[in-house]
Structure 1
Amino acid sequence: MKPDPLLRQIARWCVSLRLDEVPDEVVRVAKIALTDYVAVTIAGSEMPVATKLQQFAMQRAPQGNCSVLGTEQKTSMAYACYANGAASHALDFDDVSWATIGHPTVTVAPVAFAAAEEKQLGGDGILLAYIAGVEAQHQIAKWVMPKLSEQGWHTTPVIGVFGATVAAGVLLDLDETTLTNALAIAASSASGVRGNFGSQTKAMHAGLAAFNGVNAVELAMLGVTGQPDVIEAADGFAQCFTGITSLDDAEITLGQRWDLLENGLVFKQYPCCSGSHPAIDCWDALLIERERGGIPLKTEEIEYIQVGASLLGPRELVCNHPHNAIEAKFSMQYALASRLIHGAVGLTEFTGEAVNDPQVQALIPKIRMRVDPELEKLGFVGTAPVKIRVYLANGETLSIENDLARGNPEKPLSQAEIENKFNACVLPRVGEHKCQEWLGALTHFETVIFAELKHLLNS
């Protein structure tokens, strides 16, 4: 017997999932992800792209039940998702998954929060919608990655629109058929190209995917249909986005294998593209080692720095000589220069003033990035392994390398580091008391009722 279309199988699993069926470790990872999401969204809500999307939301939907985090605004579910999704990705401080070489939470969590607020649900509903959404979108990613990324698509919105659709569908209580239609509609809403990296549109991609996911669900609820085999069909999602012409071997492993366990999530230490993070880690370690040894490295000693990256490096770190904060987030050169000259690569280092510091601008041309022949053999990997050679004016060469950044499941951040990041993002915006209220609630989010959630969102 021919198996059911892939989207129908995904929808069937999603609508039947219950939180008590989810492994405890998956719930634990999800709670960290939602904690990280709240942090980066509140912090990102002041970024220019976020304030523009907030203005856009209020122009289009000035009334509604759903909160725009970091503000006192209320708008419709779809436009809250648009604004919050953009804010959560604006700092490029949000989590990463190697399943997509993208950012899973910023397309799914905005929908889970907005739909829960719309339906007056608590933290358990948000967790369920988030887990279902991420697992579903990463199931699709298994069939089309890495070819999807190799074609130049920004995987965050292209895959994330499916997770957003599932999150909305779960909390709006769709049945299997309606969610299947919604996912099929979402397939025709998927978009986002990597050519917009280094601009405000990159952050907007996350909000757009969340927005489109909600729209897909609301359209399906009105009776709009889609083809349930649109992923695997001729001229369908897989073929059009990747060139893959057959998914006959595609398997549905939802509930048998959990991507949040197997791949996990990467939680960032630095508010910039993850492609530079392994380099920042080993560069930081070298500079600390030399400082402790009484031989701190000085800019005037450096002849040039050669950075050997993997294949993806030059395709996502596209700003070789940045002149503003957004460009700097996609610059290997700025990341290394900032750590040496400013002493850190944190929130305060991504400003126009910091980027255009004369010392930074003088060092940047001395930092050269290319694909390393050995790392090229690894293929199109997202983990961003790196080899760095520092050539000094006295003839000495310093060599460092790193295969994986801290914050990966194999090199996890400590609970204290997670909380420190949350405090750094949230406390300046809302104050100590509200910051700790949020942090406390998120640690036991499955027990938070709607009244508590409403208090957090509205006070």
Structure 2
Amino acid sequence: MNVDDIALSLARFAHGMKLEDVPPAVRERARHLMLDALGCGLAARGQDYAARLSDTVFDLGQETQGQAAVIGFGRRLAARDAALLNGLLCHGLDFDDTHMAGIAHLSVSVLPATMALGGRLDASGEHLLAAYIVGLECGARIAKCVRGGLTAQGFHPSAVVGAFASTLAAGRLMELDEAQLMSAQGIALSLASGPLEFLQTGAWTKRIHPGWAAQSGITAATMGKHRIPAPPAPYQGRFGLYSTFLSTELRAAVEPALAVAGLDQLSDPSAWELMDIAVKPYPMCHFAHAAIEGATRFHDQDIDPAQVARIDVFVPEGVVPTICEPEADKRRPQTDYDAKFSLPYSIACGLVLGRLGLEELRPERFSDPRLVAVMDKTHYTVDAESTFPRHYSSHVQLTMADGTTRMERVPINPGHAERPLPGERIVAKYRANATLHFGEAHAQAVLDAVMNLERHTVREMEALLGQEPK
């Protein structure tokens, strides 16, 4: 029997990791990531997609007895339905964290899975934190060794890898043994999905992906608990993840050793992939963040956009299909999701407005003639020297009406582990998001609970989060 070394190593880690052995810096980072995801979920409460998709999930769950809380709602759902809805709420604004090298949003599948399951199991906050850390670390490692290949192949890593990450996190919370965790990972292989076709129209399907991964993780872990026979080589097998989800060319670039490197050296915070998960400063595709910063620098220099004849943005080849092409469509976003994945719109907001927040994603903004004029001047060029996917770099060059050029280089995107947002800025972002529809006292109560998670239970967390806006 061909047993997968990656699956076995991750099963052993998920089963054997002790929270007390996790460095304090890693535990604090995990709490900040959790807080950031919850803030994104609370901010989504007033969005049209949140209303319509929540109606859909409540419709699906109407015949079940509610067990788990939903962020920002007073109604409860069965655990898997709650995980689905919480995942799409936390990810829907595309403002949630990203593991850089893996190009994966992990918190928005792992946290919904562990919270929904943790409430049902009456788990402690300590157990929730341990499971969350397991899910993030394992997911980041599974994604990292693909070296951007899933995105290049047309799959959303957050969806595909999120199913495995959520499975391992749920399995940890359920206290599965190594054999059960192996079975669970094999089952997750059959549940992982998520194509990038939404990019063609700005469709809402991307928002569903992390919640579906969370739901799949609970399902796979539960099947593993009952020792359902499953493929023992879910990653490296003949028809495993790295074979069936990647072309022959992309498969050749996979480095399986990256998935397990340093698992025996985790007393050092730098050995944790979790520490390379970046918090977003902008509610946009992470690929555009360096470009936004470069354009904003020009705004801060009082550059008059009317005096700019042409804008060239140097980007990694790997981001072109996501934020640059088709070029004509990227210059004319029609929906907020179109805008989130538009390099020209990112540049226009940075240069003209000097900012890009949730307010700039309202559809009425897209027809602003000042922004349209800049989008029409924006072009992209592949930067062959980019360190992508380690960094999501961009360099922005302006050619002025008099023929002179000016360049702003951003080799490391803001929020990256090498340029991290400090804890106080993450908290400030959380507060801004959490108070869009909820009061200051509610936001503070959630903040206190997350930052002191070991003193609370998951059910106490659910009671706070499962409230309607006032």
Establish whether TM, by shorter chain, passes 0.5: yes
Contact 1:106–1:206, Cα closer than 8 Å, also in 2: yes
TM-score w.r.t. structure 1 length?
0.91
- How far apart, in 2, do the equivalents of 1:212 and 1:261 lie? 23
Using a 3 Å threshold, how does the CA distance of structure 1 residues 192 and 248 change in structure 2: closer, same or farther? closer
Once the two structures are superposed, the pairs formed by residues 329-344 of structure 1 within 5 Å of their partners are 329-344=340-355
Paired position in structure 2 for 1:162: 164
Contact 1:184–1:227, Cα closer than 8 Å, also in 2: yes
Per-residue CA deviation, residues 41-92 of structure 1 (Å, 9 max, x unaligned), is 1112333333333122211223321111022121011111111111111111
Paired position in structure 1 for 2:6: 6
| Other structure's SS at 1:376 match | coil
Contact 1:5–1:228, Cα closer than 8 Å, also in 2: no
Tell me which amino acid in the other structure corresponds to 2:339: A
- Which is worse superposed, 133-142 or 445-454? 445-454
Using a 3 Å threshold, how does the CA distance of structure 1 residues 163 and 147 change in structure 2: closer, same or farther? same
- Which is worse superposed, 34-43 or 6-15? 6-15
| Other structure's SS at 2:419 match | coil
RMSD: 2.4
**How far 1:152 moved relative to its partner?**
2.3
Using a 3 Å threshold, how does the CA distance of structure 1 residues 153 and 248 change in structure 2: closer, same or farther? closer
1:205 pairs with 2:209? yes
- Which is worse superposed, 84-93 or 117-126? 117-126
Once the two structures are superposed, the pairs formed by residues 282-361 of structure 1 within 5 Å of their partners are 282-288=294-300, 290=301, 296-317=302-323, 318=325, 319-361=330-372
**How far 1:175 moved relative to its partner?**
2.4
Using a 3 Å threshold, how does the CA distance of structure 1 residues 268 and 303 change in structure 2: closer, same or farther? same
**How far 1:252 moved relative to its partner?**
3.2
Contact 2:6–2:256, Cα closer than 8 Å, also in 1: no
Paired position in structure 2 for 1:50: 50
- Which is worse superposed, 93-102 or 170-179? 170-179
Paired position in structure 2 for 1:216: 220
**How far 1:450 moved relative to its partner?**
4.2
Contact 2:162–2:214, Cα closer than 8 Å, also in 1: yes
Percent of aligned pairs sharing the same letter = 28
Paired position in structure 2 for 1:180: 182
| Aligned counterpart for 2:377 among listed residues 362, 366, 387 | 366
Using a 3 Å threshold, how does the CA distance of structure 1 residues 24 and 250 change in structure 2: closer, same or farther? closer
Mark the runs of 5 or more structure 1 residues left unpaired by the alignment.
Answer: 291-295
| Other structure's SS at 1:390 match | strand
Paired position in structure 2 for 1:133: 135
| Aligned counterpart for 2:435 among listed residues 427, 433, 443 | 427
1:268 pairs with 2:280? yes
- How far apart, in 2, do the equivalents of 1:154 and 1:4 lie? 23
- How far apart, in 2, do the equivalents of 1:189 and 1:101 lie? 20
- How far apart, in 2, do the equivalents of 1:86 and 1:152 lie? 20
| Other structure's SS at 2:217 match | helix
- How far apart, in 2, do the equivalents of 1:220 and 1:449 lie? 25
- How far apart, in 1, do the equivalents of 2:71 and 2:222 lie? 23
Tell me which amino acid in the other structure corresponds to 1:44: A
| Other structure's SS at 1:57 match | helix
Contact 1:29–1:260, Cα closer than 8 Å, also in 2: no
**How far 1:342 moved relative to its partner?**
3.4
- How far apart, in 2, do the equivalents of 1:35 and 1:176 lie? 30
1:225 pairs with 2:234? no
Contact 2:70–2:466, Cα closer than 8 Å, also in 1: no
Contact 1:324–1:356, Cα closer than 8 Å, also in 2: no
**How far 1:356 moved relative to its partner?**
2.2
**How far 1:187 moved relative to its partner?**
0.9
Tell me which amino acid in the other structure corresponds to 1:271: P
Contact 1:82–1:208, Cα closer than 8 Å, also in 2: yes
Q: Which has the higher contact order (CA 8 A, sep 6+)?
A: 2
Using a 3 Å threshold, how does the CA distance of structure 1 residues 217 and 261 change in structure 2: closer, same or farther? closer
- Which is worse superposed, 415-424 or 43-52? 43-52
| Other structure's SS at 1:162 match | helix
| Aligned counterpart for 1:256 among listed residues 230, 253, 265 | 265
- How far apart, in 1, do the equivalents of 2:264 and 2:35 lie? 24
Contact 2:101–2:391, Cα closer than 8 Å, also in 1: no
Paired position in structure 1 for 2:148: 146
**How far 1:377 moved relative to its partner?**
3.8
Paired position in structure 2 for 1:293: none
Paired position in structure 1 for 2:452: 444
| Aligned counterpart for 1:88 among listed residues 87, 90, 99 | 90
**How far 1:262 moved relative to its partner?**
7.2
Mark the runs of 5 or more structure 2 residues left unpaired by the alignment.
Answer: none
**How far 1:403 moved relative to its partner?**
0.5
Tell me which amino acid in the other structure corresponds to 2:31: K
- How far apart, in 1, do the equivalents of 2:397 and 2:342 lie? 17
Tell me which amino acid in the other structure corresponds to 1:457: L
Using a 3 Å threshold, how does the CA distance of structure 1 residues 450 and 83 change in structure 2: closer, same or farther? closer
- How far apart, in 1, do the equivalents of 2:127 and 2:161 lie? 22
- How far apart, in 1, do the equivalents of 2:172 and 2:203 lie? 33
| Other structure's SS at 2:74 match | coil
Tell me which amino acid in the other structure corresponds to 2:423: Q
- How far apart, in 2, do the equivalents of 1:266 and 1:419 lie? 14
- How far apart, in 2, do the equivalents of 1:354 and 1:179 lie? 48
- Which is worse superposed, 445-454 or 327-336? 445-454
- How far apart, in 1, do the equivalents of 2:392 and 2:256 lie? 31
- How far apart, in 1, do the equivalents of 2:258 and 2:42 lie? 39
Using a 3 Å threshold, how does the CA distance of structure 1 residues 355 and 247 change in structure 2: closer, same or farther? closer
Using a 3 Å threshold, how does the CA distance of structure 1 residues 353 and 4 change in structure 2: closer, same or farther? closer
- How far apart, in 2, do the equivalents of 1:110 and 1:450 lie? 12
Tell me which amino acid in the other structure corresponds to 2:393: P
Contact 1:49–1:86, Cα closer than 8 Å, also in 2: no
Using a 3 Å threshold, how does the CA distance of structure 1 residues 377 and 440 change in structure 2: closer, same or farther? same
**How far 1:345 moved relative to its partner?**
0.2
Tell me which amino acid in the other structure corresponds to 1:169: G
**How far 1:414 moved relative to its partner?**
2.7
Tell me which amino acid in the other structure corresponds to 2:131: A
| Other structure's SS at 1:157 match | helix
